[in-house]
Amino acid sequence: MKGSELQKMGICPELLRMAYGDKTQRFAMKLHPEKSNSTILFNTAGLAEWMEKHIENQMKGLQRT
């Protein structure tokens, strides 16, 4: 799905940018990598898995404090 479609579904654009920028992710790619402003496509199953892990890591960080 396109990032804009995911935003319409209620996913925060900052979270999508963070997910795309994560060095370990394998679920998001540009439609035309040679263009800097190309549409980013997300594999929704991979994004959901990444979001779950991201939330778990945030919760672990909060518990340590």
Q: What is the pLDDT of residues 5-48, one digit of tens each?
A: 999 999 999 999 999 999 999 999 999 999 999 999 999 999 99
Domain that holds residue 33: 3-64
Q: How confident is the model at residue 61 (pLDDT cuts 50, 70, 90)?
A: confident
Q: Please give the tally of structural domains in the chain.
A: 1
| In contact, 40 and 32? CB cutoff 8 Å | no
Q: What is the pLDDT of residue 16?
A: 97
Q: What is the pLDDT of residue 13?
A: 96
**Span 44-65, average pLDDT:** 90
| In contact, 4 and 12? CB cutoff 8 Å | no
Query: What is the rounded CA–CA span in Å between residue 65 and residue 42?
Result: 33
